[in-house]
């Protein structure tokens, strides 16, 4: 079935470093793709999404481009802050309420 595979963590960075978290998908068509983030002590929240090929989702300085050639949706941020420390989940839409999630990548940013 449709699924995503994301980079294993944990990832530890210094403030202002560049962050990339890889996510690739397997799907029969071109489903919507998402990045969710879970900050410490909070629920998962939608960070960004892309609904079709070549779309770019962006939010809070994060970006991800839906690339059908490489079946990827990598998350990037040019300069991370301590407040970006969280668990990041890549997800694929199966239907209106079913999402297929990756295992999550824990990111820790040190001052």
First to last CA, the chain: 41
- Alpha-carbon span 83 to 80, nearest angstrom: 8
Q: How many residues bind other proteins (CB under 8 A)?
A: 23
Contact status, residue 103 vs residue 8, Cβ threshold 8 Å: yes
Binding to other proteins, residues 40-99 (CB under 8 A) = 41-46, 89, 91, 93-99
Radius of gyration of the chain (CA): 13
Shortest distance, position 30 Cβ to other proteins, whole Å: 16
Q: Of 4, 50, 86, 107, which one interacts with other proteins (CB under 8 A)?
A: 4
Residues that bind other proteins (CB under 8 A): 4, 36, 38, 41-46, 89, 91, 93-104
């Amino acid at each position: 079935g449709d699924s995503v595979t994301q980079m294993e963590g944990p990832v530890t960075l210094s403030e202002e470093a560049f962050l990339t978290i890889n996510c690739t998908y397997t799907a029969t068509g071109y489903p919507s793709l998402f990045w969710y983030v879970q900050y410490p002590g909070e629920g998962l929240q939608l960070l960004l999404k892309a609904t079709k090929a070549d779309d770019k989702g962006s939010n809070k300085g994060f970006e991800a481009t839906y690339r059908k050639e490489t079946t990827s949706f990598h998350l990037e941020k040019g300069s991370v802050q301590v407040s970006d420390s969280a668990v990041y989940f890549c997800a694929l839409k199966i239907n209106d309420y079913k999402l297929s999630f990756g295992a999550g990548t824990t990111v820790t940013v040190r001052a």
